[in-house]
Structure 1
Amino acid sequence: MDITAFLHWLKDTMACTGQTTKNRIIRFQKQGDYRRFLQEWSEAATNFPALKPVKQMRIIRAISCQLPVEATLSGFSGGVWIENDRRITVHHTAVKTMPLEKGIPWGVQQIKAPLAWSITTGHRIKIGVIDTGVDFSHPDLRQSLSRGINLLNRSMLPHDDNGHGTHIAGTIAAANQVHGMIGIAPRAQILPVKAFDHNGSAFVSDIILGIDWCVRNRVHIINMSFGMKTRSKALLNAITNAYNAGVIVVASSGNDGKRRSVDYPARYPQTISVGATNKLRRIAPFSNRGTFIDIYAPGDKIFSAWLRGKYHEMSGTSMATSHVSGAIALLLAHKPGLSPAEIKAILKKSYLPLRSTKAPRYTGELDVMKMLGAAER
């Protein structure tokens, strides 16, 4: 592929003014072409400021940038692919401010996490939470957080300006049982990756950058409490590369109450897809369900940490996903080195059947003690 010609095309196309533009992802077929492009691009960007907004996604040999809607890559067919850089949103429904509830949250109790704490607390397991950031000042999270990264503003910490990411982090690894709340894996480490804005919205390219960062920083688990209706080859490629690197990707199925469909990326087989249950151990009415679901976990009226040291009750498959990520952290601390495929198999053979005559028989609700037992066999 003629990289110089492609770079000239990109420079001229990005410099076009007065045209409607949208975010695009351009993937290179060959590693050598991508390497040459990055080298030439870094030199050209100093002379042509229009090229500077290009984002590199090394994990999938791609870039993202804004291009005119009419732009096509017909002159470079075979060497590069292009797809729209779609918007993706966090998964939750109702939000309700709550006073601090003393004791262990019901979801943490329901999956039997406290019974496992004499065996494992998730010590040294790193969980990348790709979300809206986290409240670094929350007293229940201080012991559980590392610096992470802010993909929307690299010069700042990934501070949460929405609340969703803080809620997820609290369920996974809050560690303040005496004065606050406790999560499922209180000695696990959260690496917050801020890819979502204050509205809980992100571009697929930012998710891919987050996955790339997690893989390079050797996280064990990535929590993905978000989704979209359309398939993205670029996102699948990034998740497949993470999976092949041994990273467990846990994804929420979506809140549309659908019986035969789940959102992407939970629909990809390289993820562990999660549906939500309620206190009665039934599938929550809002939860997507069906054969694409690998495991169910508590997701209805979940109490957890919130901004400015507060607490909120939230519902959604997002909340269920954080229970599963925490449980896998307990498992990995106890049995290091399990592959993503082995962990999925353990979850699928250790679930508790759901309460309902119509409940599916091929999956059920997360049970930490049964999960740990299945890992021994």
Structure 2
Amino acid sequence: MIRHGGEANLDRSAVLRLLHSALTQTTSAAKRRIVRFRQKSDYERFLQEWSNIDKTVANAADAIRHLPFIQGFSLRVPNDVLRSHTHDGIWIENDPLLSVHSSSIYKPVIREKGIPWGVQEIKAPLAWSTTTGHRVKVGVIDTGVDFSHPDLKQSLGRGINLLNRGSLPHDDNGHGTHIAGTIAAANQVHGMIGVAPRATVYPVKAFDQNGSAFVSDIVLGIDWCVRNNMDIVNMSFGMKTRSKSLLTAVTNAYNAGVIIVASSGNDGKRKSIDYPARYPQTIAVGATNRLRRIAPFSNRGLYIDVYAPGDKILSSWLRGKYNEMSGTSMATSHVSGAIALLLAHRPGLSPSDIKAVVKRSMLPLRGTKAPRITGELDVMRMLQAGDR
């Protein structure tokens, strides 16, 4: 992050220069960056000038994205503007691309009936006589969802498409549909059933068909989830570098009472995990396999809060089909579903309460010698711990 010192307010010419440079850049000439302001008055001035331009310039809304949740903007900033000293009082950082967290796609499966192994493994079916996640709202910031999938029809809210505001958040990748199925699929007779079959998934399409999104898209997605009263946000994606803007958005959501569940990454690392899972305001999830051991691809170590099934997970896919995928993404959707079960049973638990319950109720993993090491998700133990 580039931080220009000084407390002085920006003059109008500096604001206009920044706006003008963003509007005249070709895609290759400058990197997309997030600009934030030390002084609220500077943010308001920039917002005012941008609003005036937005009405008169055709591509202004595409070239400059307003990020009200963190009082900033995403725009292309050329290097010569970065090097100039006319921008005292501004924080500028890159607006990099993130990727969804799935390590592999296996061959499509013709059909799936009943309860997938991961849903069984975490003991979700034993909880359904007590809680099914009814009325819990789960925002899934991902590639969208297949609205026509028979196993998801009862489980979806409208959500939002941040890449094309006029359209429903239709999935053109498959990853988001897979995540939604594990959380809340509800078609036990003819299809599959997810962890919390009466929870409602609100797809927030921030990722394109390649499974990529800018940090600014994620910030807008978190903003939407907070404003639309999501209880839980599933973030099955990550990046290696920290982002002050993403941390600010995550912190604001946490302070608003939203539980954020994030995947740790698929690099098999022992001492580090991806952001945003690495931020303490999230619940960081690693992946296990059918042997109840940490999956070889999963990041692991002290930063992980809980492990859940993530290896060869079968769930819903595009065009009403099913697919088997592996990744910490898949583990994360199990945890989001489990928290939906807990919240329906015990409404009003705060994000810090939930994290404490999850950590207090884990089942020790196989193949780990230390008794206190992070364990695997267990829904029945979670519900009991939530009652204490």
Query: Which band: TM-score by shorter chain?
Result: over 0.9
One-letter amino acid of the counterpart of residue 342, structure 1: D
Aligned to 1:210: 221
- Asked if 2 retains the 8 angstrom alpha-carbon contact of 1:11 and 1:50, the reply is no
The alpha carbon displacement at 1:10 in A equals: 1.8
The alpha carbon displacement at 1:92 in A equals: 0.5
Aligned to 1:284: 295
1:43 matched to 2:52: yes
- Asked if 2 retains the 8 angstrom alpha-carbon contact of 1:290 and 1:360, the reply is no
| Deviation beyond 6 Å, 4+ runs, structure 1 | none
1:116 matched to 2:124: no
Aligned to 2:3: none
Q: Please give the secondary structure, in 2, of the residue aligned with 1:190.
A: strand
What aligned pairs does 1:237-276 form with structure 2 within 5 A after superposition?
Answer: 237-276=248-287
1:348 matched to 2:359: yes
Unaligned runs of 5+ in 2: 1-8
Aligned to 1:144: 155
The alpha carbon displacement at 1:238 in A equals: 0.4
1:330 matched to 2:330: no
Identity over aligned residues, as a percent? 69
What aligned pairs does 1:1-377 form with structure 2 within 5 A after superposition?
Answer: 1-2=9-10, 4-17=12-25, 20-49=29-58, 51-52=60-61, 53-72=63-82, 74-78=85-89, 80-96=90-106, 97-358=108-369, 361-377=372-388
One-letter amino acid of the counterpart of residue 27, structure 1: R
- Asked if 2 retains the 8 angstrom alpha-carbon contact of 1:7 and 1:41, the reply is no
The alpha carbon displacement at 1:47 in A equals: 3.1
Query: Any idea what the Cα deviations from partners look like across 1:9-68, whole Å, max 9, x if unmatched?
Result: 123312445772111100122334323322232112223446432111111101001222
Counterparts of 1:17 and 1:108, CA distance in 2: 49
One-letter amino acid of the counterpart of residue 39, structure 1: Q
One-letter amino acid of the counterpart of residue 227, structure 1: G
One-letter amino acid of the counterpart of residue 324, structure 1: V
- Asked if 2 retains the 8 angstrom alpha-carbon contact of 1:126 and 1:189, the reply is yes
Counterparts of 2:239 and 2:172, CA distance in 1: 21
Counterparts of 2:91 and 2:59, CA distance in 1: 21
One-letter amino acid of the counterpart of residue 163, structure 1: G
Query: Any idea what the Cα deviations from partners look like across 1:146-172, whole Å, max 9, x if unmatched?
Result: 111011110111000000000000000
- Asked if 2 retains the 8 angstrom alpha-carbon contact of 1:11 and 1:51, the reply is no
Counterparts of 1:145 and 1:248, CA distance in 2: 19
Q: Please give the secondary structure, in 1, of the residue aligned with 2:178.
A: helix
Q: Please give the secondary structure, in 2, of the residue aligned with 1:63.
A: strand
Distance 1:129 1:48, change over 3 A: same
Counterparts of 1:334 and 1:366, CA distance in 2: 17
Counterparts of 1:119 and 1:6, CA distance in 2: 60
- Asked if 1 retains the 8 angstrom alpha-carbon contact of 2:134 and 2:199, the reply is yes
Distance 1:360 1:237, change over 3 A: farther
Q: Please give the secondary structure, in 2, of the residue aligned with 1:223.
A: strand
Q: Please give the secondary structure, in 2, of the residue aligned with 1:269.
A: coil
- Asked if 1 retains the 8 angstrom alpha-carbon contact of 2:19 and 2:50, the reply is no
- Asked if 1 retains the 8 angstrom alpha-carbon contact of 2:361 and 2:378, the reply is yes
One-letter amino acid of the counterpart of residue 193, structure 2: I
Q: Please give the secondary structure, in 2, of the residue aligned with 1:40.
A: helix
Q: Please give the secondary structure, in 2, of the residue aligned with 1:313.
A: strand
How many residues of Structure 1 are paired with residues of Structure 2 in the alignment?
376
The alpha carbon displacement at 1:3 in A equals: 5.6
Unaligned runs of 5+ in 1: none
Q: Please give the secondary structure, in 1, of the residue aligned with 2:217.
A: helix
Q: Please give the secondary structure, in 1, of the residue aligned with 2:81.
A: coil
Query: Any idea what the Cα deviations from partners look like across 1:101-157, whole Å, max 9, x if unmatched?
Result: 222000000000000001100001000000000000000001011111011110111
Distance 1:358 1:20, change over 3 A: farther
One-letter amino acid of the counterpart of residue 56, structure 1: H
One-letter amino acid of the counterpart of residue 71, structure 1: V
Query: Any idea what the Cα deviations from partners look like across 1:250-295, whole Å, max 9, x if unmatched?
Result: 0000001110010011000000000000011000000000000000
Counterparts of 1:121 and 1:15, CA distance in 2: 49
The alpha carbon displacement at 1:362 in A equals: 2.9
Q: Please give the secondary structure, in 2, of the residue aligned with 1:102.
A: coil
One-letter amino acid of the counterpart of residue 343, structure 1: I
CA RMSD after TM alignment: 1.5
Q: Please give the secondary structure, in 1, of the residue aligned with 2:196.
A: coil
- Asked if 1 retains the 8 angstrom alpha-carbon contact of 2:183 and 2:194, the reply is yes
Counterparts of 1:93 and 1:313, CA distance in 2: 11
One-letter amino acid of the counterpart of residue 311, structure 2: D
TM-score, normalised on structure 2?
0.94
One-letter amino acid of the counterpart of residue 45, structure 1: D
One-letter amino acid of the counterpart of residue 73, structure 2: I
